[in-house]
Structure 1
Amino acid sequence: MDYYTLVFGSILALGLLYILAKLSSGGTKRFPPGPSPWPVIGNIHLLGAKPHVSMANLAKIYGPIMSLKLGQMTTVVISSSSMAKQVLKYQDQDFSGRFVPGAVRAHKYSKFSMAWSPVCPQWRMLRKIMNTNIITSNRLDANQHMRSQKVKELIAYCAKCSQEGEAVDVGQAAFKANLNLMSNTLFSKDLADPFSDSKVELKDVIWRFLAEIGKPNLVDFYPILEKIDLQGIGRRTTIHVDKLFKIFDGLINERLEEKRKGSTEKSDVLETFLNSSEENPKEIDHNHIKSVFLDLFVGATDTTTSTVEWVMAELLKQPEIMKKAQAELAEIIGKGKSIEEADASRLLYLQCIIKETFRMHPPAPLVPRSVQQDIELCDYIIPKGSQILVNVWAISRDITFWDDPFVFKPERFWSSDMDVRGQDFDLIPFSAGRRICPGYPLALRVIPVILGSLLNSFNWKLEADIEPKDLDMEEKFGLTLAKAHPLRAIPSPL
């Protein structure tokens, strides 16, 4: 072997060794860090009853991009606003997939749903119908009188409780009001009217459905168990979805009969979808309509109810904040007077209270996404099929951005122009990007009116002479971040 061959061979060997070393180190370095998984269960044992809190604590160790192995599933957790912005804005298309829990596959609900389907022509079509016919400013303005009536009915119920000295279950009362509001928006009827002949009340079925899909499900961690359904969640959700779809079928058929007889066309969501179905029968059918109805009921009732209950709980725990809000209402609206949606923009302190509640108690603490192929994110590789969880709860308590993040202080927003519509990534209660909650324009109209009406109509105190400092503020993790124990408070005249 001559000198040049030896030198060339040595250089080539060293080059190959360098490339292999780089590939080897890069392979381990580029996968997001995280705790070592145990056999079979992975990192499930680290989650506990409050996964959002456990994940926030783990992120302090492993960083804002962290990987967990939950059973057979690879999960990547995003825990900072800058990383959330990267995922939900700059790489929104890459991360626009949706992980579908086993519980929502009942009756092919997820297949025809807008909330659970992937970004595809069907999803774009349903979203377009929503954006152009349901949640536009003009359509929301047109239905304002109906929402106002539902809020007045809620206040009338509270007035009855006040006269009798009874406590109001704030969450349940808000849930019923929102359900009536949504039923009128969708099909121009109150719950008592269309379901009077049924032994199944819509509110009860939806409540049970929400409870089931909020439970941890082994099927989601081990897809191989789907047919076995050890916990029975799939069986029970199938029963609930079947009851709901039968109710929706009855309403659809009733409206079709009215249209056949030439009745006056209504301006509700059902009419919009039926007209779209007539124009594009191959693209949208009754399965789509029923699934989107369920999307809207779930999205509108559970998240709005949870927010109203948390606001009232925080105000009852800190009565001085409630007094400030009532003083603002008395000055701008007039004590005891009705509140309209147009008034909300003038109630600056009430808006601060609502933003602070969204920060402390985000309706969806973990925003779920998924990736359909290997994706590079900030020098890490996110494997195809991974579930992505944006920990909104952790972001809204980030001590590097928020002062006293565990203290309820509405004043922090007093001179801030921070918005909740998905542009300020330190506060994203409705998520962001193309999969932002489509119902947020309605929620931002309804929540201030409900809360303002409750505060401007009554004084409130906790039942059983519970002291404000003793109020239980325990969270219950599920589809939304609800109070673990219902808030019960007694209204009295102002």
Structure 2
Amino acid sequence: MDEYYQFFVALFTLLVLLYLYYKLFPMIKWLYSNTINKININLPIPSPPKLPILGHLHYLGYLPHRSLWDLSKKHGPLMLLQLGSRPMLVVSSAEVAKEVLKIHDVSFADRPELDTVKRAFYHPKDVIISPYGEQWRKSRSIIVHQLLNTKKVKSFNSIIEEETTLLVEKLISCSSPSSPVNLTNMFESLGIDIIYRSTFGKKMGEIEHGKKVADMINEGVGLIVNFSIGEFIPWLAWINKLNGFGAAMERVLKTRNEILDTFIQEYLDDMEAASNSSRELLFAKDDKNEEFLIDTLVGIYRGGTPGVSIDLESVKALILNVLVAGAETASTTLEWAMTELIRYPTILKKLQDEIKQVLKGKRDINENDLEKMHYLKAVIKETLRYHPPIAMNLRECREDVNVMGYNIVKKTGVIINMWAIGRDSAYWDEPEVFLPERFLNSSIDFKGFDFHYIPFGAGRRICPGISFANEVIELVLANLVHKFNWALPDGAKGESLDVIEQPGITNGRKNPLIVIATKS
């Protein structure tokens, strides 16, 4: 029903735009045509036919990564689209991705400037969308060297292990052939609790405003995904006042500021009140003497890290970055990994056999055991190829540059279709088949050096949380496969399990993963 509603809304909007174009704004055709001709002089790149005003917006479809992949088969791996007033290159091959993400990485180191996204992420103090420059390098350095360095990630292993144990216990308590479980919900809760504990020292439900933060993030992400038409057709920005988008965005921003300001102020007040001999933080648990991400950020803010300084808004921006990006990557990958293992029982059995062989009768899995599980790593790599958690990477050109013989002008946006690149038959045998064996005895990795396999991006703006996400995915998946047998409700066969995606920032399942887990 929702899809039909969205279709009729889109159709009505298109008809209104066409009416305005032909009846009320006769000069737009001339201005628009001249703008496009200017762009095309510099960008003589294959491009599908476009509509007045909308350009190619209508081609994006329900799942843009799939729609753009289909277009690239007709128009090539480097394609020019006009999304309203925004020129946008679409990259769909490893060869072109290497040009953008390695050879000309600095030239394409910006993100497209979308007003909604900028306001949501404390632009320009964040890492996700801020433009390349001194401020971005400073924030990125704090994320990489202070928050998510190897030592810090390893320090969170106890949190990951404890939350994994709780997940296993929850599954055991409800494991029955007659009691299906919603793995999608469980993975979402797991991801949120791990990232909240790593950030604040407590789970979302243990923090006074924790649920409000999660709701605020979900609503904000939903608004960003649906975007404002004014971002692409500026003279239609007034529509935001009629459809409620602007009011909803203002409400999210107000809630964001109130909650994060309260978090940090209470934390600072608590630090002031605590004695030097017995420091008790609002969020942290001092019985384990752990340092959480908020400790590190506030410590930098208060001058505790020589050579590094940030203001209070940067603290809020980086906390928000971690909360938004940290939970969904791991939970989405786990969801797809379990989907494919249930769809392919022979792969599931092979992984179970490997884990048993490595453990040699042990029940619990440690870090050393994981290092020996090569097929586990291959399953995860294949999941990231087949279902990258972020389907598309967005960049923007900072300066005029020549790519593949084409002159790209400054401010041209770039969509790197990582989902399509992972299914390119020029680089992958049987790309439409889920086949972990392709990664056995292979040096291909997801750290941004193999441009036909970039599920976390590449170059300067590669995801800085790869190691953290991988720690979670490996331990959780190994435990679930080792300690449970998996099936679908009502005796359904694995091949009947759907792999329908839903649109969003992360490339997750549309329908929840409902399964039967029985203790092995």
What is the TM-score of this pair, normalised by structure 1?
0.89
| Contact 2:92–2:420 (Cα < 8 Å) also in 1 | yes
Number of the residue aligned with 1:218: 229
Cα-Cα RMSD: 2.5
Displacement, 1:333? 2.2
| Contact 1:76–1:382 (Cα < 8 Å) also in 2 | no
SS of 2:389's equivalent in the other structure is: coil
5 Å-filtered alignment, 1:312-327, equals 312-327=338-353
| In 2, Cα distance between equivalents of 1:232 and 1:287 | 28
Displacement, 1:104? 2.3
Q: Deviations over 1:102-145 (max 9, x none)?
A: 44234563333211111122211111111211211111222211
SS of 1:77's equivalent in the other structure is: strand
Displacement, 1:340? 2.9
Matched length: 469
| Contact 1:103–1:233 (Cα < 8 Å) also in 2 | no
SS of 2:204's equivalent in the other structure is: coil
Number of the residue aligned with 1:401: 427
Number of the residue aligned with 2:258: 246
5 Å-filtered alignment, 1:11-410, equals 28=41, 31-106=44-119, 109-162=122-175, 165-195=178-208, 198=209, 200-226=211-237, 228-229=239-240, 231-260=243-272, 261-262=274-275, 263=279, 267-279=291-303, 284-334=310-360, 337-410=363-436
Counterpart amino acid of residue 219 in structure 2: R
Task: Decide which moves more: 80-89 or 326-335.
Answer: 326-335
Counterpart amino acid of residue 208 in structure 1: E
| TM-aligned CA distance change 1:183 to 1:371, over 3 Å | same
| In 1, Cα distance between equivalents of 2:333 and 2:219 | 19
| Contact 1:217–1:231 (Cα < 8 Å) also in 2 | no
Counterpart amino acid of residue 220 in structure 2: F
SS of 1:112's equivalent in the other structure is: coil
| Contact 1:420–1:427 (Cα < 8 Å) also in 2 | yes
Number of the residue aligned with 1:486: 512
Counterpart amino acid of residue 336 in structure 2: W
SS of 1:483's equivalent in the other structure is: coil
Counterpart amino acid of residue 393 in structure 1: W
Number of the residue aligned with 1:10: none
| In 1, Cα distance between equivalents of 2:113 and 2:203 | 31
| TM-aligned CA distance change 1:238 to 1:156, over 3 Å | farther
Q: Kindly, what percent of the aligned residue pairs are identical?
A: 31
Displacement, 1:216? 4.8
| Contact 2:177–2:518 (Cα < 8 Å) also in 1 | no
Counterpart amino acid of residue 519 in structure 2: P
| Contact 2:396–2:413 (Cα < 8 Å) also in 1 | yes
Displacement, 1:282? 11
| Contact 2:487–2:517 (Cα < 8 Å) also in 1 | yes
Q: 1:466 aligns with which of 492, 497, 508?
A: 492
| In 2, Cα distance between equivalents of 1:469 and 1:108 | 41
Displacement, 1:480? 1.3
Task: Decide which moves more: 448-457 or 220-229.
Answer: 220-229
| In 1, Cα distance between equivalents of 2:206 and 2:414 | 42
SS of 2:206's equivalent in the other structure is: coil
| TM-aligned CA distance change 1:241 to 1:184, over 3 Å | farther
Task: Decide which moves more: 73-82 or 334-343.
Answer: 334-343
| In 2, Cα distance between equivalents of 1:320 and 1:179 | 31
| In 2, Cα distance between equivalents of 1:199 and 1:178 | 14
| TM-aligned CA distance change 1:64 to 1:383, over 3 Å | same
**In terms of Rg, which structure is larger?**
1
| TM-aligned CA distance change 1:139 to 1:380, over 3 Å | same
| In 1, Cα distance between equivalents of 2:500 and 2:54 | 28
